[in-house]
Amino acid sequence: MDSLMKGKRGLVMGVANDHSIAWGIARQLAAQGAELAFTYQGEAFGRRVKPLAEQIGASLLIPCDVEDSASVTATFDTLKDEWGGLDFVVHAIGFSDKNELKGLYADTTRDNFVRTMVISCYSFTEVARNAAALMNEGGAMLTLTYAGSVRVMPNYNVMGVAKAGLEASVRYLANDYGPRGIRVNGISAGPVRTLAGAGISDARYMFNYQSRNAPLRRTVNIDEIGNSALYLLSDLSSGVTGEIHYVDSGYNIVSMPTLDELKR
Ligand code: NAD
């Protein structure tokens, strides 16, 4: 099976390097025949993303900073000029000031709250609106979230609030675009060692704790997240929309640490 995405063109937003979740997703999509475009945030990331894009034959590389609406519009103008249409989009973007990804959530500043919301939550709605305008024969959209949206995770703070908004956006967007055959879903990934993940204080302890206490007794890797993304972006999931799908070794189902952990 290597042609699930044959004939489909999609945009992948959020590759920073070869540890990025978006890279794991892009690799699986390309392996199944998708034609890909990438965005990158600024020239420094651009230099890292270019060789990755070349490695899987991505045809377009476009600068995009989602904090700037004009940059988002320009990205989709380029896609319209180059491709005319779009079949899917992957949004794997998040940001918050790392000085506020520790301590009390209550101490979040107004400025960082707004910035985190714009980049980590609103950008998906803006991307979805622009992408939907290019989707003439149905389509699929996917964003990345984390369980800190529904439960308190140490230090995740304002990102948890943004992810809660992001997950609600998935449901509203799924309802908006469902009548046009466009599906909108989210993957709630377990902890992965990435640039963004490293911004959360004590991330290493969370990572190790989850690998000891998740039902599968390990964390997930970006290829596994990529495989689940492939399902949600391909026709295999044609009846699925508005879902938040956990790819976290089952950690979200447990209510207590393992007995081994309690006895440590
Ligand atoms: P990453 O650092 O590799 O990717 C984050 C991406 O966001 C980068 O490519 C960065 O350029 C981009 N970005 C940040 N601000 C931007 C802006 N203003 N404009 C455009 N792009 C911007 O880290 P990752 O862990 O692969 O993160 C991808 C997504 O997965 C994020 O939404 C993150 O919250 C989510 N996620 C991560 C984990 C984890 O443990 N790493 C777990 C669950 C969900």
Residue 27 domain-assigned (yes or no) = yes
Give the pLDDT mean for 140-150: 98
With a CB cutoff of 8 Å and minimum separation 6, the contacts of 55 are: none
89 in a labelled binding site: no
Burial class (CB in 10 A: 0-12, 13-18, 19+), 130: buried
Residue 2 domain-assigned (yes or no) = no
Residue 259 — pLDDT band, cuts 50, 70, 90? very high
**Is the ipTM beyond the 0.95 threshold?**
yes
Q: Quick check: is 209 catalytic?
A: no
Q: Which of 118, 132, 117, 136 is nearest to 173 (CA)?
A: 132
Higher pLDDT, 59 or 247: 247
Name the H helices within the chain. Answer: 21-31, 42-55, 69-83, 110-117, 123-132, 157-177, 195-198, 203-213, 222-233, 259-263
Which residues constitute the domain of residue 149?
9-263
Q: What is the pLDDT of residue 59?
A: 84
Structure tokens at 255: 């209510």
Residue 91 — pLDDT band, cuts 50, 70, 90? very high
Does this model's pTM top 0.95? My answer is yes
Number of domains in the chain: 1
CATH number of the domain where residue 82 is located: 3.40.50.720
Q: What is the pLDDT of residue 1?
A: 67
222 in a labelled binding site: no
3-class SS of residue 120: helix
Question: For 38-51, what is each residue's pLDDT tens digit?
Answer: 999 999 999 999 99
Measured distance CA(39)–CA(127) in Å, rounded: 12
Residue 152 domain-assigned (yes or no) = yes
Residue 148 domain-assigned (yes or no) = yes
Catalytic residue among 40, 156, 246, 251: 156
Burial class (CB in 10 A: 0-12, 13-18, 19+), 42: exposed
192 in a labelled binding site: yes
Ligand 1 geometric centre to CA of 13 (Å): 9
3-class SS of residue 37: strand
Query: CA-CA-CA-CA torsion for 253, 125, 171, 89, nearest 10 degrees?
Result: -70
Q: Quick check: is 251 catalytic?
A: no
Residue 44 domain-assigned (yes or no) = yes
**Ligand 1 site: residues with CB under 6 angstroms?**
14-16, 20-22, 41, 45, 64-67, 92-95, 119, 144-146, 189, 191-192, 194-197
Instruction: Evaluate the CA torsion angle 96, 191, 11, 39 in order and state its sign.
Output: positive
Residue 171 domain-assigned (yes or no) = yes
Q: Are 40 and 63 in contact (CB under 8 A)?
A: yes
Residue 1 domain-assigned (yes or no) = no
Question: For 200-240, what is each residue's pLDDT tens digit?
Answer: 989 999 999 999 999 999 999 999 999 999 999 999 999 99
Residue 120 domain-assigned (yes or no) = yes
